[in-house]
Structure 1
Amino acid sequence: MAQPYSQLPRWVNYGLIPLVNLSVAFLVAGLVVLAVGENPLRAAVLMIDGAFGSGDGIGYTLYYATNFIFTGLAVAVAFHCGLFNIGGEGQAYIGGLGVAVGCLAFDSIFPWWINLPIATLCAAAFGGLWALIPALLQAKRGSHVVITTIMFNFIAASLMVFLLVDVLKPAGQMAVETRPFAEGASLPRLDWMIEAFGYTIRRAPLNIIFLLALVTSFLVWVLIWRTRLGYEIRTMGHSPKAAQYAGINTTKIIVITMMISGGLAGMMALNPVMGAQERLQLDFVTGAGFVGIAVALMGRSHPAGIIPAAILFGMLYQGGAEMSFEMPAITRDMIVIIQGLVILFAGALEHMFRPYISMFFGRVADSSLKAAPATTGESH
């Protein structure tokens, strides 16, 4: 009998299967590139070179990856509780409002190293509170969190338009944005980190929030796998009935988990709002909330997998933009198709090859078990 999915070796579950899915995604993407009359190998070289071949390319790749780390962590935390939070887009929007409130209030009073913790707390609080209502509706009324969170995405976008146009925009200004933040809300760049490897970085907005994303990934790992709350979250995700039998307050766990998830999504806003634009503008999320779903799936909801998955999607964003310049036949829409194929195979079709791989390793295990008695008998 073949081993069940849960008995697969960890390196297969967390390494081989995502690699197979990713390889098939790029193979299909190569066929799409070939269909428009371009060389898929040259396209791949251009994409990799555009993402990692220069200091600015690396800077932009890691800048995009920073956004995806936060949203991927947000989705992963909810996954561990058996919840599908697809409201990261709206939670990041509202988190950006929190960043703006903190920066506009204190940017001319405190230096950046004080304003950054304030903005981080505001972003996490605003994002977490935006996830609170869907959490309560799920826990108290049974309203499915998928429906409520996606509806709250639209509400957040509309709320942001209203606040920027009628409340936060300075009088007499045409652009729909807040005033620029003062020097106290300007974050240090990570040019030195790229230049340490011999590259030159000129305009890429890579900033200290990338390091914050790495620290947050570690803290999420500690939370989920090294704390009592994390154990309760995972128990709830595996079996709500078992969690209730064990005396876990499932309503409380759902609410806390969703607020943590929303807070992580809200922290994503630190990177574009405070780290790059240094003001609050419309559409700064640019789909990062939805990309976070694919990042979490590809990374198996583990921070160690989410970070490289986020860098992969950062490569697709940055390398795809550079590739479209060199290959006019490959438009921005084609890049979106390639990104969509990766999301498709990493997410919706994630289990396509798992049964075959599981069957193979099950047969290998069965062969080993059958050979073991024979070997033992010969030794006697």
Structure 2
Amino acid sequence: MNIMSNKMINILVPVISIILGLLVGAVVMLISDYNPVTGYIALWNGIFGDSYVIGETIRQISPYILAGLAVAFAFRTGLFNIGVEGQLIVGWFAAAYVGMAFELPKIIHLPLALLAAAVAGALWGLIPGILKATLKVHEVIVTIMMNYIALHVVNALIKTISGGGFKTERIHETASLRSEFLSNLTDYSTLHYGIFVALAMVVVMWFVLEKTKSGYELKSVGFNENASQYAGMNVNKNIILAMVISGAFAGLGGAMEALGTFGNMSSMGGFTGIGFDGIAVALLGANTPLGVIFGATLFGSLKYGANNMPNAAGIPVEIVSIIIALVIFFVACGYIIRIGLIRLRNKKEAK
């Protein structure tokens, strides 16, 4: 009988990563002459202080779940989709455009806007998928470049449709994810129905990967392309399909911002960061649908709760960013922590 099972190791790795990140963050605060206890109390209050901040924290989590699903889905199929940021941006624009350009009943308009975001993200994922499948161009290089193309193309489109302005018109109420009930429940926060869309996509990813023939093929191709081809699977088709589905999840992440949080889209001077954080979310969640919820909850909470640290504890924004980066760093080092835990288990078993 294993002293430390693989399942326990899977749970311990992210927990240890978070604890190490927060401990080193405390050291950084001490060296910078700030009180880490006060800082972390401010962080806690910024996440769970009252119903308003809880609502805002949950709202922040929604796009992180979808970005994490996008990265995790690609990972599970043997691909590294580092272009989630770009796919999220084009999804944001597509949802904002459909939301403002059409006047339809809510039962049609809202699903149409969400579908537009998913399709836009899927198409942005299709390009690196085709290049990988047909020309063997590495998806990391293509998706990185596609991020910049997405940013500048969308900025140009915003300028065009707004007549030279810097943001789109507000979406119609019929396309909005805003919820008066959820807002009132959380003391008039901006919490919206997007969290339910995100959780529904968690179920979709689980179902696709675990309960469908396509999901089995996608995972098989991810494990071993040659063996999958020998077994009669269409490897190229599955590579393209994986990138398309991953892009669709990312596009829906953009829809959370367009239809829920902001209600429009403004020109951006840089990336949102959500897509890149999605990599850490997926790693923290061990690329599983349920794990992504955990990872997204952590990052969404850190991102929103950290806003309270400068106000309540006087800790500069730069140090707050360092603490978040440290957590991401230790999450990325999870493989080393895993190796350490496995060696510790093996030593105990040998004794």
User: TM-score, structure 2 length as denominator?
Assistant: 0.94
Residue 26 in 1 paired to residue 19 in 2? no
1:322-357 deviations in Å (ceiling 9; x for gaps): 1111222x222222111111111111x111222221
In structure 1, C-alpha distance between the alignment counterparts of 2:278 and 2:177, rounded to whole Å: 24
Q: Residue 161 of structure 1: CA displacement?
A: 1.2
Correspondence for 1:178: 168
1:377 paired residue number: none
Q: How does 1:99-114 map to 2 (within 5 A)?
A: 99-106=95-102, 108-111=103-106, 113-114=107-108
1:212 Cα deviation (Å)? Answer: 0.7
Cα distance, 1:215 vs structure 2: 0.8
From 230, 234, 244, the equivalent of 1:259 is 244
Residue 303 of structure 2 is matched in structure 1 by 317
Query: Equivalent residue for 2:283?
Result: 297
Residue 118 of structure 1, CA deviation? 0.5
The 8 Å contact of residues 185 and 278 in structure 1, kept in 2 or not, is answered as no
Provide the secondary structure at the position in 1 that maps to 2:178.
coil
**Equivalent position amino acid for 1:152 in 2:** M
Task: Give yes or no for contact 1:190–1:208 (8 Å, CA) kept in 2.
Answer: no
Deviation of 1:297 after TM superposition, in Å, equals 0.1
Unaligned runs of 5+ in 1: 368-380
Distance verdict in 2 for CA 1:293–1:201, change over 3 Å: same
Quick check: 1:168 aligned with 2:154? no
Deviation at 1:239, TM superposition (A): 1.4
- The C-alpha deviation readout for 1:120-139, integer Å capped at 9, x for no partner, is 11111110001111111111
Q: CA RMSD in A?
A: 1.9
Post-superposition Cα deviations, 1:254-303, rounded to whole Å, max 9, x if no partner, equal 00000000010000111111112211223396210000000000000111
Contact preservation (8 Å) 2:96, 2:263:
no
Tell me the equivalent position of 1:132: 126
Query: 2:151·2:271 contact (CA, 8 Å) conserved in 1?
Result: no
Q: Tell me, in whole angstroms, the C-alpha distance in 2 between the residues paired with 1:34 and 1:128.
A: 46
Shift of 1:193: 8.2
User: Residue 250 of structure 2 aligns to a residue in which SS?
Assistant: helix
Instruction: Determine the structure 1 residue equivalent to 2:72.
Output: 76
Residue 168 of structure 2 aligns to a residue whose secondary structure is: coil
Of residues 321, 337, 341 in structure 2, which corresponds to 1:357?
A: 341
If the length of structure 1 is used for normalisation, what is the TM-score?
0.87
* Aligned residue among 101, 116, 127 for 2:110: 116
**CA distance change for structure 1 residues 190 and 37 in 2, over 3 Å: closer, same or farther?**
farther
How many residue pairs were aligned? 349
CA distance in 1, matches of 2:181, 2:280: 29
Contact map agreement 1:89 1:265 (CA 8 A) in 2: yes
Aligned to 1:207: 192
Which whole-Å deviations, capped at 9, do the CAs of 1:99-130 have from their partners, x for residues lacking one?
12321233x3222x322211111111110001
- Alignment equivalent of 2:206, drawn from 195, 205, 221: 221
What percent of counterpart residues are identical? 34
